[in-house]
Amino acid sequence: MPTLLSTSSLIQSLNLRDLSDPSQGSHAIGQLITDIHNALAQHWQCRLQISRNNPVVSLENNYDRLGYPSDGAARDERYTRYVTDKMILRTQTSSAIPDLLLSLCTDPPKNLLLVLPGIVYRRDSIDKLHCSEPHQLDLWRIVDSRYSEVMNIGDLKQMIEIVMRTALPNMQWRIVDSAHPYTEQGVQIDVYWNQQWIEVGECGLTARAILDNARLSTHTGLAMGLGLDRLLMLRKNIPDIRLLRNNDPRIQRQMNDLLPYKPVSVMPAIERDLSICVEESYDEELIGDKLRSQLAEADCIESLHIKSATRYSDLPSTAHARMGMHSGQKNLLLQLTIRHLDKTLTDREANHIRNKVYQLLHQGSVLELAVSAI
């Protein structure tokens, strides 16, 4: 009898946000999934079916019906989280495949792409490339050989090419022979990143026994499982897989797109308020572009937020005189957050950066500089 998860541990696991599920909030992982399955469906001109399933699955579906040996090490409680002696938290989204394929036999598809994203639960080492609740994407193409050619290794390589080109454009990848219970001619997909080869997925031709057991005897297929966390790490060049769930808002803001990751400093932040006058057309986007392109210290500017904007006509003459403001301008009150990546800034250094920002943006004839930087 394996050691079972405690009730509190089970609740904690099931309440963990699934970053691949858009109903739980947008995340860059969701964008990766959409880009990948759209690219495949468009190339193959096939029907698309997305399936999300309960993460508590039977031991039979997770292992036996996928061809895993009954005495395989993967079943050990060191690697698998048991809910009961026959039910576990899934270790792979492939656990939904046996039932899903069987449900197709009443109306067999001619050309179908099954898409199964979700969080999976493992017991894994703690380092920059591993986490115990990663996200996986299963992609299974099922084709009726009565209407199409039998799937072969050439089709598999084409699938890999499309997925890698879509998920990791311009990155070097390779395939290495690797056997899997539910595939034939299985391979592992590795990507070269930071001077090492990183595994991001495994795939192969769908094993004949898997299709026959689902009563799809006239069908052939392709099966692929991808590690979404690693794909996103490599796409955005994120140094540590644990950053994907980091609660720091500066990090979380960067997890909503596929743009390169900007390192976040753990050094203390320094805030400065600036009162400037600018042309009416100025907004946060224009100011941000100006700072990034013209300020040598732009890397130290963590954020710049407009707290208020007041038109010339709404200000007293004393304010006009104080800033050297003229008609057609507006007064912006800015909140500037300054943080160095590698060191704690002194007040003098922070004020120097504040003054550089002020001088670059302020369009009035009177300057108000922070004295301690002079």
Residue 62 lies in a domain: yes
How much is the pLDDT for 309? 96
227 and 357 both lie in a single domain: no
- Cα 167 to the chain's mean position, in Å? 11
Whether 260 maps to a domain, the answer reads no
Residue 118's pLDDT is 98
Whose CA is closest to 267, among 346, 349, 342? Answer: 342
Beta strands at 219-227 and 196-206: parallel, antiparallel or unpaired: antiparallel
What confidence score (pLDDT) does residue 8 get? 92
What pLDDT does residue 128 have? 81
Res 370: pLDDT: 87
* Total domains, the chain: 2
Given 195, 220, 252, the domain boundary residue is 252
Residue with tokens 């069908």: 219
Q: Is residue 259 part of a domain?
A: no
What sign does the dihedral 78-79-81-87 (CA atoms) show? negative
208 and 276 inside one domain = no
The predicted structure's pLDDT at residue 302: 82
What CATH number does residue 284 fall under? 3.30.70.380
**Residue 48, in any domain of the structure:** yes
Q: What is the pLDDT of residue 373?
A: 46
In a domain, 261, yes or no: no
Do 190 and 325 belong together in one domain?
no
- At 279, list the tokens: 């042309």
- Domain end, chosen from 222, 252, 282, is at 252
CA pair distance 313, 320, nearest whole angstrom: 10
Residue 78 lies in a domain: yes
Is 207 in the same domain as 356? no
Q: Do 287 and 320 lie in a common domain?
A: yes
Domain of 336, in residue numbers: 270-373
**Those residues with Cβ within 8 angstroms of residue 312's Cβ, 6 or more apart along the chain or in another chain:** 277, 320, 325, 326, 327, 328, 329, 330, 331
Query: Is 339 part of a structural domain of the chain?
Result: yes
Segments of the chain scoring below 50 in pLDDT:
373-374
Q: Are residues 66 and 214 in the same domain?
A: yes
Q: Are residues 278 and 162 in the same domain?
A: no
Does residue 331 lie within any of the structural domains? yes
Q: Do 173 and 34 belong to one domain?
A: yes
Q: What is the pLDDT of residues 41-93, one digit of tens each?
A: 999 999 999 999 999 999 999 999 999 999 888 898 878 999 999 999 999 99
Check residue 372 and give its pLDDT: 63
Q: What angle do CA 363, 366, 369 make, to 5 degrees?
A: 95
Q: Which phi and psi (to 5°) does residue 323 adopt?
A: -100, -10
The reported pLDDT for the residue numbered 73 is 85
- Count CB-CB contacts under 10 A for residue 334: 22
Which CATH number covers residue 144? 3.30.930.10
Q: Which tokens belong to 323?
A: 């800033």
Q: Are 61 and 129 within one domain?
A: yes
Residues 268-302: tens digit of each pLDDT: 889 999 999 999 988 887 888 788 878 888 888 88
Separation between Cα atoms, residue 313 and residue 280, nearest integer Å:
12
106 and 76 in a common domain: yes
Q: Tokens 């192969």 map to which residue?
A: 204
* Claim to verify: residue 364 and residue 245 sit in the same structural domain: no
* Residue at which a domain ends, from 217, 252, 287: 252
- Positions of E strands within 262-317: 270-279, 301-311
Same domain, 15 and 144: yes
How far apart are alpha carbons 19 and 134 in whole angstroms? 9
What number of other Cβ atoms are within 10 A of residue 289's Cβ?
A: 10
